[in-house]
Amino acid sequence: MKIVWGVSILSILCLTIFPYPCIASSSPEVSITISSSEEPTLSEQEIEPIDPVTTTEPRTDSRPESAIPIRFDEGPTRVAIANVPPAPLEAEEEIGTIPDPIEPVNRAFFTFNDRLYFWVLKPVASGYKAVAPEVVRVSVRNFFSHLTTPVRLVNCLFQADVKCAGIETARFFLNTAIGFAGFFDSAKTGFNLEKQDRDFGQTLGIWGMGPVFYIDLPILGPSSLRDGLGYAVDVSFDPRTYLAIYFVAVGYVNTGGWVLDKVNEASLSLGEYEDLKKAALDPYIALREAYHQHRQSKIRK
Amino acid sequence: MEVFMSLTFLIRIILSLLFILSIAVSSWAVEPMEAIKQTTNKILNIVTNPVLKPPSKTAEKEKLIREAVDERFDWEEMARRSLAAHWAKRTPEERKEFLPLFSDLLERTYMKKVEDYSGEKVLYEGETKDGDYAVVKVKIVTKQNKDILVEYRLKKEGNNWLIYDVSILGVSLVNNYRTQFNSIISQSSYENLVKRLREKVELK
């Protein structure tokens, strides 16, 4: 109950300090419970990607695949409903593919990253996994995630999401105080306050910028022009960056921390990349599309 | 006597009402979320069954999982949506050849995920229905306390709700395969796609 008050106070503070995002947000009231999403019932079936071949060729089955959002096989009321623009939340199949003008370069980096994973990262992460118990590794993950709270908080505000900002602030204080400086995610386990995954690439997307085109960055992995720019901006929000500017030694610690973070993450998700490759006919395209769709789904939220 | 008559009359009415009700109940379609729950529980029961745990029983276990999955997935709808425009160009023979290859690849991927099950929580978040189509949202909470959001897209076939797409963390399976298939077909040919699919499935 105290938490509810705490977050309410935070939201009031937010209203006074940052009036714009609070006014712009559709729900200025901060609530703890993350409500199961109620969505408009109009589904995505009307939205099929525009395909010149499908629209010109005779169909073999009853349901039309046309780009026109009308169901020919349904009654007149259906047609009337279907003419309403579809709800963006449900428009799963509407997502186009991401432009990839530099595919040959990207494929080269994909191969580089693939080898880096199998030859370096995976063996190191497996060794690390063998010595560090899962509890420790999850705590390491929590610790690094705790350090980057300012990045998420700033992006919550850029996205005019007060609820998100309130949750991130509350999480920061809770996890600092009772989560042993962020090693335990007590805010989630104890208070059901989930981490809000926000970054500047998303913010740009919410502001209306498209991904522009796909870039498979060496070492860093799948990205887009927008998300790459976003990453650079996020680094500038990272408190560690400032520390490194003032204390040269912190730079080395940061580099070490970054490597530990990457190895730690890999140790917690060993096998996921292998699964993706196993299920794919063209792993490069599978990864590219998975990245794009995952990012789009985060922006649409 | 009159009381007795009215009593039998009453019983008759009740019995006929019950009869009508039972017919009505049996013809009610299972709700989409209920359908997902049934299949999930069925598969989890197979995976956690101690009798099927030893490696010698793996084949039997996989067969049971396959049966449960086949019951709930509409492979043809999935293939049709994944091939999109290219599906219309295929002859019935080609479709017949494509379906088992495609479902085999998907089942194998799914099987791998299911067999790794180690007590993750499955939470049912809700369903959205629109006529013959529905979306069921499920949250899987891993042991590391990480949430994985899964969306099942279902289509009503007769009295049954069948899955035609699964999206994990916003990544739709059908969409992903559609792009891959389209890229392979446009760069080489449909025959090459089938060849690659076959190689993948036979590789194990």
Residue A71 to residues A189, B76, B131: CA-CA distances in angstroms?
Answer: 46, 20, 11
- Is there a contact between B153 and A65 if contact means CB atoms under 8 Å apart? no
Chain B contact for A282, CB < 8 A?
Answer: yes
Set of chain A residues whose Cβ sits within 8 Å of the Cβ of B197: 281
Q: In what order do the strands lie in the sheet with B147-157?
A: B121-130, B133-141, B147-157, B160-168, B171-172
Q: For residue B15, what pLDDT band results from cuts at 50, 70 and 90? A: confident
Mutate which of A60, A72, A139, A142 to test chain B, going by most B C-beta atoms within 10 A? Answer: A60
- Return the H-helix or E-strand segment holding A15: helix A2-17
Cβ within 8 Å, pair A293-B113:
no
- Chain B: nearest CA to A52, how far in angstroms? 8
What percent of chain B is modeled with pLDDT above 70? 91
Evaluate whether A222 touches A107 at the Cβ level (below 8 Å): no
Yes or no: say if A221 and A116 are a contact pair by the CB < 8 Å rule: no
Minimum distance, in Å, between the CA of residue A140 and any CA atom of chain B: 12
Within A92-161, residue ranges assigned H as helices are: 103-115, 122-131, 134-147, 149-158
Whether the pLDDT of residue A262 is over 50: the answer is yes
A73 in reach of chain B (CB within 8 A): no
Q: Which amino acid is at B42?
A: K
A134 touches chain B (CB under 8 A): yes
Per-range mean pLDDT, top range of A92-96, A263-267, B157-161: A263-267
Instruction: Out of B125, B144, B172, name the one closest to residue A138 (CB).
Output: B144
Instruction: Tell me the C-alpha to C-alpha distance, in Å, between residue B131 and each of A36, A48, A49, A87, B49.
Output: 21, 17, 21, 16, 37
B181 touches chain A (CB under 8 A): yes
Determine the residue type at A224.
S
**Residue A181, phi-psi category: left (phi > 0), alpha (psi -120 to 50), beta (remainder):** left
Cβ–Cβ gap B125/A36 under 8 Å: yes
- Which of B108, B112, B172 faces A92 most closely, judged by CB atoms? B172
The verdict on B110 touching A (C-beta cutoff 8 Å) is no
Percent of chain A scoring above 90 in pLDDT: 53
Lowest mean pLDDT across A77-86, A283-292, B109-118, B160-169: A77-86
Euclidean distance between CA atoms B31 and B134, whole angstroms: 9
Alpha-carbon distance A193 to A163, whole Å? 11
Most distant CA atoms of chain B, gap in Å: 88
Does position B147 have pLDDT exceeding 90, yes or no? no
C-alpha gyration radius of chain B = 22
Provide, rounded to the nearest whole percent, the portion of chain B with pLDDT above 90. 43
Is the predicted pLDDT of residue A71 greater than 80, yes or no? no
Question: What is the Rg, in whole angstroms, of the alpha carbon atoms belonging to chain A?
Answer: 23
Indicate if the pLDDT at residue A70 is higher than 80.
no
**pTM higher than 0.90 for the full model?**
no
Q: Comparing C-alpha atoms, which of B175, B8, B141 is closest to residue A189?
A: B141
pLDDT at A57: 40
A189 and B CB contact within 8 Å: yes
pLDDT greater than 50 at residue A297: yes
Are B164 and B81 a contacting pair, CB within 8 Å?
yes
Tell me whether residues A281 and B180 touch, CB distance under 8 A.
yes
Predicted confidence band at B2 (pLDDT cuts at 50, 70, 90)?
A: low
The string of DSSP letters for A58-111 reads: PPSSSS---SSS--TTS-HHHHHHHTSPPPGGG-GGG--PPP-TTHHHHHHHHH
Indicate yes or no: CB of A278 within 8 angstroms of CB of B126.
no
Query: Which pLDDT does position B91 carry in this prediction?
Result: 92
User: Which residues does chain A have within 8 Å of residue B143's beta carbon, measured at their own beta carbons?
Assistant: 134
Q: State what percent of residues in chain A have pLDDT above 70.
A: 68
When pLDDT is averaged across residues B132-155 and rounded to a whole number, the result is 90
Residue B48 pLDDT: 87
pLDDT at A63: 42
> A147 falls in which pLDDT band (50, 70, 90)?
very high
φ and ψ of B127, to 5 deg? -135, 150
B176 touches chain A (CB under 8 A): yes
